[in-house]
Amino acid sequence: MIIHNKIIKIAIIGTALFLTMTGTVMAQQDTLVDLGFRKAAKGKIVNAASVMNVANMQDYDNIQTVYDALSRITGVKSASNLRGKGAPLFIIDGLPRDITYLNLSEVEQITVLKDANAAALYGSASANGVVLITTKRGNSRNREINVKGHYGMYVPKALPDYLSSVDYMTNYNIARKNDGLSPLYTDAQIANYQWSGNPYQYPSVDYYSDEYLRSYRPFSRLMMDLSDGNDRASYYATAGWSHYGSLLNFGEGKSSHINNFNVRGNVDMEINDWIKTSIDMAGCFLSDRQPLVSDGASDYWAQAAVLRPHLFVPLIPIGMIHPDNETLLGSKRNIGGTYLAGGSAAYLSNPIADVYLAGNNNIVQRNFSFTNRINVDLSDITQGLSFATNFSYDFLNVHNEYIQDQYAVYNPVWVADGIIADLEKYGDDVHTGTLNVGGIVVGTRRFGASAVLDYEHTFNQVHHFSGDFVAYASQISLSSEVQSTKNTHLGLRLGYVYADKYLVDFTSALVSSAKLPPSRYTGFSPTFGLAWVVSAEDFMRQFKAIDLLKLKVSGGITNTDAQMDYFLYDDMYISSYGLGWYDGAKSRNGTLPAYGPNTHLFFEQYKDFNIGMEGVFFNRRLTIDANYFHTLRDGIAQQVFTAYPNYYTAYVPYENFGRNEYHGFEAGAWWKQKLGDLTVKAGGTLLYADSKTLKTSEIYTNDYQYRTGSPVDAVYGLVAEGLFADQGEIDVHALQAYGTVRPGDIRYKNLDGNGIVNDDDQQQIGRYEAPLVYGLDLTLSFKRFTLFAHASGQSGANGFLSGDYYWAQGDSKYSSFMLNHWTETTAQTATYPRLSSLAQSNNYRTSTFWMYSNNYFSLDRVQLTCDLPVKQGNVLAVKSLSLFIDASSILMLSKAKDYLQLNVGSQPQYRSFSIGFKTLF
């Protein structure tokens, strides 16, 4: 365990070392970076923006999704968390879109706009930052065909481990004994389950055994893209197909699969010498076929985590039933002529029979995306002036196609010698064979439009002026919601650069909100940025090791309504529970306020400050990028419930009340070195993101209970002091107000010393979000071989065990986790509280007892690529060919590995291995 910690520490120190000593050029200073409404050379950027050139990366790293790529970028924790603040705005080709349906191989570049100054032109939705994704385009000079394919398997990382029938019964009897009740299962009964040898009469069902599950899930992908062009037009086209098999190896589970097909065509045209236009279209078709489950709400995995092993036999062998049995003869549906479905009056279906007999559901998703851009060159009016528009329309719909069958279950009546004497039948056999089409489960439409007047000109080779005037509108409508998300704003950016040394930027937005009261619906969001390219100064010439050194500072205010709902200011009344009278001939709904009115409601404001540096050193071998950031999220719209009585809840208005602070540090360093035939590239990113609640609606008895001053993600709970050894200890300890306490129960600290342990004794015991995350990349190229590895880790957060798998109580299924539970004889060594057949409210609540540190270090990807020698001018016109073998989620070092890698009640987490090729024609 100590070793794990050391490795994590070494990883952190290693990352820090990269910052001070080593590293490679990720993006050159003169590369053009897409900044949304304009492109700029990296050297001319004032604010905190990071760029990833995806196209290059894919030569040696075969990751598939934008999600995977994002977490490699400095400052990005995940697709839903930028700098610890929350989900950024995703912009694909200029307008907001869903990244779920985008294949990474279609992507050219990803830019992350992290500070307010960089993101401001995106208005209200940009408060947490913006991720800009640019798809590939055709090249007018070069015809290229790329074909890529791979095949692989997903292997479950871990499966739940539940007790067998015998162990369950034995432990359940202990649980009853602990509650002062008599044992439920007699020794004779338990012995039958242990020794009878008839698993149908005395079942011990293991839903995770290889009887039902394959050892892996196969998958394969094939992708082709094509680009070409001439003087007037060029295009990029791609088509891809992926297929994922199933882990279940029986019935409908065998044939269940996911099929995903996607296409894209990006076309650029010159209408004349001053008007250019482009039309992009993309589509994605996904079908996900799964077995249906009878109880509707859950799937195989959810049921497998609940049903205890001894309850019933899911499959009854027909061979054990007398062939003349009338119920058997009357049965219409069986499983392959071999089994009948098992069950009872209380269990009218079971997950295994479901997979065989309940039918299947096909979730069909279709996504379509359209973009049109027009670019008008206005340099006739003034040198450097242009006008551009962008218009987008996307839609997604999801529906279900299902065949729903019913089946009868049978409860066998056994005679002593293991022969079924009779069957009790419950339910009916109905095989409809009818394909039903469910209504639109989800339908999403996205509109976006923007127009920008752009100016850029350098006078006398030193004064570089630029500016943008932007009009922007977007709308996202979900079929499930009445109101769509609307964003409209005007943006103005003014930039000045003197001699590539001093950079000034003013970017602002006049934001309009459809959510705020009519008198207060616009907000002005100003931001400033300053940068100084120190290395361009004459006095720096002498420092040969410094190729570039830029210092920058930016700040601003972003008005946002993204977290608010519509009409929160209004005096809204809703219909509530009603009354019927005159035997139902008359009825009336209740009327109740939804909340109180507040005509002063305004935008939330993000007050943002960023200070950073960029540097390139040692003849461009080392690149460093680092920022300190601080954001005050002010005026969070919330109902201040604690200022009103609890019966007044429905009347409480929304106010701009809450305040949170986010701050931290991010850094990335890349180093590249050639050593003969060996090229080494190494890089590291690090993000330390902390937060603090400054103001929120709360009231507590004790100071230590207040959330103010603690991280936004703080977890409050009781402080456990081990297990009570005997009644004497309980008697002298403070009374614990969570139900009857017996020896073997968790003992909690009475923080306020008032003699009663209750919710007032909860203090901050941990936090959910890891403040420190880091990633490491290593690429080694030797002649034809390239080895790539990526690792990541996090530190400083906690997880909490909960749910039936860890908390055995009442009639829950017992897992092997509770085997070392407390009994009088194991009192000294027990690591788990006493079992109980009733509710165990005292033990099963958030406390330090169930807390663990979820620090980890994980080797996420390794890929070995080999470029095969290709003879130019060969028959197949192959220009290059490479083969690769890769693996994902390979290894995790963590004390909490067992918890982090286990899914209970849903599909397991997988590690994957695959082999593939990539050719260029």
Partner 1 sequence: MKNIIINRVIVSFGVTLALTALTSCENIFEPLDDNHSTFERVLQDPAFAEGLLTTGYSRLPTNSYSYNEAATDDAVSNDKLNVYLRMATGEWSSTFNPVGQWSNCLLGIQSVNHFLTIVDGINWRESIPAFNILYIKRLKGEAFGLRAMLKFYLLQSVAGETQSGEMAGIPLLDSYLQSNADFNIPRASFAESVENIYSDIEKSLNYLTMDDYGNVSSAAELPPGYGKEVVGIDPATGQAAYGNYNIVFGNESTQRISGRIVKTLRAKLALLAASPAYGNSQDLWEEAAVYAGGLVQSAGGVSGLDPEGHLFYTKAYTDRLNLAARKDRAEIIWRSPKTFSYELEQANFPPTLFGNGGINPSQNLVDAFPMLNGYPTHLPQSGYNGSNPYAGRDPRLSAYIIFNNSFFQGATIITGQGGKENAKDSIKTSTRTGYYLKKLLMEEVNLNPNGISSQEHYMMRLRYTDVFLMYAEAANEAWGPDGDQTGFGFTARDVVRAIRERAGISQPDAYLESIGDMRAMRALIHNERRIELCFEGHRFWDLRRWKEKIDEPVKGVDINASGYNYADVEQRAYRDFMYYGPVPQQEILKYNSLVQNKGW
Per rule CB under 8 A, is residue 447 in the interface with partner 1? yes
Site string for partner 1, 269-308 (x = CB under 8 A): -----xx---------------------------------
Nearer to partner 1, 538 or 583 (CB): 583
Applying CB under 8 A, the span of 283-291, 341-349, 599-607, 623-631 interacting with partner 1 comes to 341-349
DSSP code string of 331-382: ----BTTTEEEB--SS----HHHHHHHSEEEEEEEEEEEEEEEEEEE-TTTS
Of residues 386 through 425, those in contact with partner 1 by CB under 8 A are: 387, 389, 391
Please select the residue that binds partner 1; options are 269, 302, 348, 900, rule is CB under 8 A: 348
- Write the single-letter amino acid at 660: N
Of residues 828 through 857, those in contact with partner 1 by CB under 8 A are: 837-839, 841
Q: Which of 652, 657, 654, 686 is nearest to 669 (CA)?
A: 686
Site string for partner 1, 88-107 (x = CB under 8 A): --------------------
Counting beta carbons within 10 angstroms of the beta carbon of residue 528, is it exposed (0 to 12), middle (13 to 18) or buried (19 or more)? middle
Compute the half-sphere exposure of residue 477: CA atoms within 13 Å on the CB side of its CA. 9
- Write the single-letter amino acid at 310: H
In angstroms, give the least distance from the CB of 35 to partner 1. 22
Per rule CB under 8 A, is residue 441 in the interface with partner 1? no
Per rule CB under 8 A, is residue 427 in the interface with partner 1? yes
Per rule CB under 8 A, is residue 703 in the interface with partner 1? no
Q: Which of 839, 829, 814, 823 is nearest to 166 (CA)?
A: 814
Which 8-state DSSP code applies to residue 516?
Answer: S
Q: Which of 389, 463, 420 is nearest to 94 (CA)?
A: 389
Nearer to partner 1, 596 or 683 (CB): 596
Per rule CB under 8 A, is residue 806 in the interface with partner 1? no
Of residues 181 through 240, those in contact with partner 1 by CB under 8 A are: 181-182, 184
- Write the single-letter amino acid at 267: V
Site string for partner 1, 623-642 (x = CB under 8 A): -------------------x
Strand 144-156 versus strand 217-229 pairing type: antiparallel
In angstroms, give the least distance from the CB of 514 to partner 1. 5
Please select the residue that binds partner 1; options are 208, 261, 465, 644, rule is CB under 8 A: 644
Q: How many residues would you count in the chain?
A: 921
Per rule CB under 8 A, is residue 570 in the interface with partner 1? yes
Q: Which of 401, 608, 644 is nearest to 525 (CA)?
A: 608
Nearer to partner 1, 660 or 842 (CB): 842
In angstroms, give the least distance from the CB of 638 to partner 1. 15
Q: Which of 228, 222, 253 is nearest to 335 (CA)?
A: 253
Please select the residue that binds partner 1; options are 368, 651, 716, 768, rule is CB under 8 A: 651
In whole angstroms, give the CA distance from residue 289 to residue 407.
Answer: 20
In whole angstroms, give the CA distance from residue 489 to residue 37.
Answer: 14
Please select the residue that binds partner 1; options are 279, 471, 490, 801, rule is CB under 8 A: 471
In angstroms, give the least distance from the CB of 250 to partner 1. 25
Please select the residue that binds partner 1; options are 146, 260, 488, 750, rule is CB under 8 A: 488
Please select the residue that binds partner 1; options are 571, 726, 731, 824, rule is CB under 8 A: 571
CA dihedral 754, 759, 760, 766 (to 10 degrees): 120
Asked whether the beta carbons of 633 and 662 are under 8 A apart, the reply is: yes
Per rule CB under 8 A, is residue 755 in the interface with partner 1? no
In whole angstroms, give the CA distance from residue 887 to residue 890.
Answer: 6
In whole angstroms, give the CA distance from residue 745 to residue 807.
Answer: 13
In angstroms, give the least distance from the CB of 205 to partner 1. 15
Counting beta carbons within 10 angstroms of the beta carbon of residue 380, is it exposed (0 to 12), middle (13 to 18) or buried (19 or more)? exposed
Per rule CB under 8 A, is residue 739 in the interface with partner 1? yes
Per rule CB under 8 A, is residue 380 in the interface with partner 1? yes
Of residues 577 through 596, those in contact with partner 1 by CB under 8 A are: 577-586, 588-592, 596
- Write the single-letter amino acid at 812: S
Applying CB under 8 A, the span of 259-267, 282-290, 470-478, 669-677 interacting with partner 1 comes to 470-478
Per rule CB under 8 A, is residue 519 in the interface with partner 1? no
Helices 187-195 + 165-178 axis angle, to 10: 160
In angstroms, give the least distance from the CB of 647 to partner 1. 4
Nearer to partner 1, 567 or 618 (CB): 567
